Amino acid sequence: MEVYISAAILAEPTLGQILDGTNVPEYLNGVGIIPGIKVDLGTERFLNSSETFTKGLDGLAERLSKYKEQHPALKFTKWRATYIIGEDMPSGTALLKNANDLASYAKIVQDAGLVPIVEPEVLMNGGHDIARSNEVTENVLTYVFRALNTAGVDYNGMILKPNMVTPGSEAEKAGNGYVGVHTGALLKRVVPSEIAGIAFLSGGMGDEDAAINLGIAAESAHDYGFVPRVTFSFGRALLQTPLQLYAQGNTEDAQKALLERARTCLEASQGTVPANNFRYSL
């Protein structure tokens, strides 16, 4: 797995779990996978609104100090903010609050000597088309980078984890080419070239679509002259089928399916648009 996956995002309860006589962060570090930790404390709704902001800034510096002392193998953190597309949404309040909190988080993490993953996710929920998704995602990222710049965050020492530009889950599906090209062009327009890298989330896409869209987005970003590394930080698109196979008691095929998807996504991140070659599936 370490050939295809360079890092793993852990939750706090996982830190103390034991594998082969050591805790999970040390175990991962020993096999060549960099461990990091999710440090946000989930979302809360704004008063009288369906929009959310993310909790966890209070006491973050102290928590980071504790994590580093107890688990020195940890090298990075992750914080997620979510945005809803709807009538008059995302609002200016949601855009500004989440951007400022993401920037404050990133600065605290860098001051602690760790690398922040900044995750502003425009959710797929809704019936909006790809043009609306593109508009909102660009607006979100513009707010985020304005806040990061104001906070003095070092772009060379952070990773951006954005959504790809897709139509809403209730809208007509867009072709993979449209998703990839829109996404690649957006990176070039909005994301500073100094940033260390982009690690796309899969955001509810299936494993095949996520891999194909990643490949086209990486190829498109390169064609537009976007220099930073484009890669993946997938959850469902890597794990959904392997977990279902595992739940059926098919451990060997579950492991093979995970390895197969990881390899395909790595190849896609290098600009190779994959065909549907997932042999191990349900």
Domain with 129 in it: what CATH number? 3.20.20.70
CA angle 184, 229, 37 (to 5 degrees): 110
How many structural domains does the chain have? 1
**H-helix or E-strand spanning residue 231:** strand 229-232
pLDDT at 277 (0 to 100): 63
Residue 280: how many other CB atoms lie within 10 Å: 18
* Residue showing tokens 């704004």: 46
Strands 159-160 and 115-122: parallel
Stated as kind and residue range, the H or E segment containing 132 is helix 130-151
Residues 162, 80: Cα–Cα separation, whole Å: 10
Residues with active-site annotation: 119, 161
Residue 275 in any domain: the answer is: no
d(CA 74, CA 233): 17
Please count the other Cβ atoms lying within 10 Å of the Cβ belonging to residue 69.
8
Q: Give the N- to C-terminal CA distance of the chain in Å, as an integer.
A: 21
Residue indicated by tokens 């959710």? 123
Q: What is the mean pLDDT of residues 66-70?
A: 96
Say if 250 falls within a structural domain.
no
At 82-115, the pLDDT tens digits run: 999 998 999 999 999 999 999 999 999 999 999 9
Asked if the structure places residue 100 within a domain, the reply is: yes
Looking at residue 280, what is its pLDDT?
Answer: 64
Domain range for 98 is 7-236
Q: Sheet holding 115-122: strands in order across?
A: 7-10, 34-38, 76-83, 115-122, 159-160, 197-200, 229-232
Distance from C-alpha of 118 to C-alpha of 220, rounded to nearest angstrom: 22
Residue 111 host element (H or E):
helix 92-111
Judge whether 282 lies within some domain. Answer: no
Confidence of residue 10 (pLDDT cuts 50, 70, 90): very high
Q: For residue 46, what pLDDT is reported? A: 93
And the tokens for 102? 């993401």
User: Phi/psi at 217 (nearest 5 deg)?
Assistant: -65, -45
Per-residue pLDDT, averaged over 18-25, amounts to: 93
Judge contact between 221 and 188, C-beta under 8 A.
yes
Of the chain, the percentage scoring pLDDT greater than 70 comes to 97
What is the per-residue pLDDT for 26?
A: 96
Confidence bin at 251 (pLDDT 50/70/90): very high
Please state the pTM of the whole predicted model. 0.94
Q: What average pLDDT does the segment 123-148 reach?
A: 95
Residue 219: inside a domain, yes or no?
yes
Instruction: Please check whether residue 208 lies inside any domain of the structure.
Output: yes
Q: What is the mean pLDDT of residues 32-39?
A: 98
Residue 137: predicted pLDDT: 97
Instruction: Confirm whether 262 is domain-assigned.
Output: no
Q: How confident is the model at residue 138 (pLDDT cuts 50, 70, 90)?
A: very high
Q: Is residue 265 part of a domain?
A: no
